[in-house]
Amino acid sequence: MNMTMPTSAVEGIRLTVTPFRPDAVIGTMGLPTLLQLVPSPKTEEDARALKYASGVLRRHAEVRGMVQRMLKATQKGRNVTSYASYIASGVNGDHGAAWSTPPITLWLDGQPGAIGDELVPGTGIRTITVAAGSPVVAIDGETQVTAWHELYDDPARFGCAYEKLDAVRVPFELYFGLSVEDARQIFYDRNVEGVPVAKNLAMSMDQRDIGTQLAHRVAEAVKVEHEGKIVPFSKLVQARKRQLTKLDPELVTLSALRVLVITALHGRGGLALSSSTVHEDDLPGGVTVRQAEEQLVPLLSRAISALYPHFAARSAISAPAVLAGLGIAAHQATGWASSGRLLTADELTELLESVHWEREARYWDGVAASANASGVLNFGGGAKDSGGRVADALLHPDTEYGRKIRGW
């Protein structure tokens, strides 16, 4: 007697998904499933390992090479370990709810092996089966995939455990039935068409960044009279944009206020750190987070309170370059400045009182800004370009720039 062989069963990885267009679905999958579905890009770029790999893996590497850039010896590749560390901290609960990884965009070279009926009528929710050996490539989020592989290969290295990783669900979107050209186009659109967030602005959104934390505390500590009401200065800080327009009701950006904090914390060295995340390990030697807060919040609050009329007048004080110079000057009054003339808070205030903060070329051209033929100032050089000159002008009234900004 001959046994009848099955004709419709498809073996492979079954995913529960919701379609959002005829050739694309979204869903979540367990981390071990993702790692089985999408091999490690690092392995696929290791010529020696690939030489002895299975034909399925070599075929996958070939397909990946048609739609992805190289990982090895690029910034993308250098980010993998730090990304894995970030993910491990999130999985361990170190970040609380304030952490996230974006959905991974996958492309299946071909069609699903099977598509099931709706699990709940009217919802579109169903299962699809990716046949064994079908190449699935991450066309967006590949660094994250690589980081997950690195983390899962050695959880102990990142202070994590398999038990926690096996419980992780990874969000994804999956495209199928598209040509290589279409997959390449999606790769391009995802990496080029979007407008990247300016790094300084992104830093100002990082609530684990010490500079951002202190900037918020300083802004909350300052109370000013605005339109007849006493309000915290934080109400006048723009946290969503890098630059202000004439129509914005706010008086300064959070990213500029953060530059003030970072330069007050580190002095001139803070100019190089203005676009970098500052953690506890990055504080000046011997300074704790508590000490930094206890010293900087009252010092900078006093300076902002004294200069508030100039903020309200939308003068040069709100420019990042000027705030950077102010921070460097304030650093000399912190108590941990290691060079230059040390100041008291009163001496710092006295130095600032004689400055002309008006946005006029006769005061700021060549110091923090450049003027065109009509005398209109452009502060576009930024903190790194001009912050040092502003600091010198504030700290040394008897120099050329010091006299210039004071109208002497």
In tens, the pLDDT along 322-366 reads 999 999 999 999 989 988 889 999 999 999 999 999 999 999 999
Spans of the chain, pLDDT less than 50: none
- What is the structure's pLDDT at 227? 86
Domain ranges across the chain = 12-194, 201-404
Beta strand segments in 239-313, E = 252-253
What 8-state DSSP symbol labels residue 93?
T
**228 burial via Cβ count (<10 Å: 0-12, 13-18, 19+):** exposed
Contact between residue 137 and residue 107 where contact means Cβ atoms under 8 Å apart: yes
The CA distance from 253 to 245, in Å, is: 11
- How much is the pLDDT for 206? 75
In this prediction, residue 218 carries a pLDDT of 95
- Kindly tell me the burial class for residue 269, based on how many C-beta atoms sit within 10 Å of its own C-beta (0-12, 13-18, 19 or more): middle
DSSP assignments along 131-149, one per residue: ETT--EEEEE-HHHHHHHH
Rg of the chain (C-alpha set): 28
> Which residues 6+ apart lie within 8 Å of 177 measured at CB?
23, 108, 110, 111
Amino acid identity of residue 224, one-letter, is V
Helix (H, G, I), strand (E, B) or coil at 408: coil
Reported as type and span, the H/E element at residue 263 is: helix 254-266
Q: How far apart are CA 278 and CA 38, in angstroms?
A: 34
pLDDT score of 200 = 57
Backbone angles phi, psi at 16, to 5 degrees: -95, 125
Q: Is 77 helix (H, G, I), strand (E, B) or coil?
A: helix
How much is the pLDDT for 396?
95
Distance CA 111, CA 8 (A): 15
For residue 21, give both structure tokens.
């267009």
Cα distance between residue 52 and residue 377, in whole Å = 64
* CA angle 314–315–318, rounded 5-degree value: 80
Which pLDDT belongs to residue 75? 74
Q: Tell me, what's the pLDDT at 378?
A: 85
Strands across the sheet with 114-115, in order?
Answer: 114-115, 126-131, 12-21, 24-30, 169-176, 104-108, 136-140
Q: Classify 190 as helix, strand or coil.
A: helix
- Write down the pLDDT at residue 136: 94
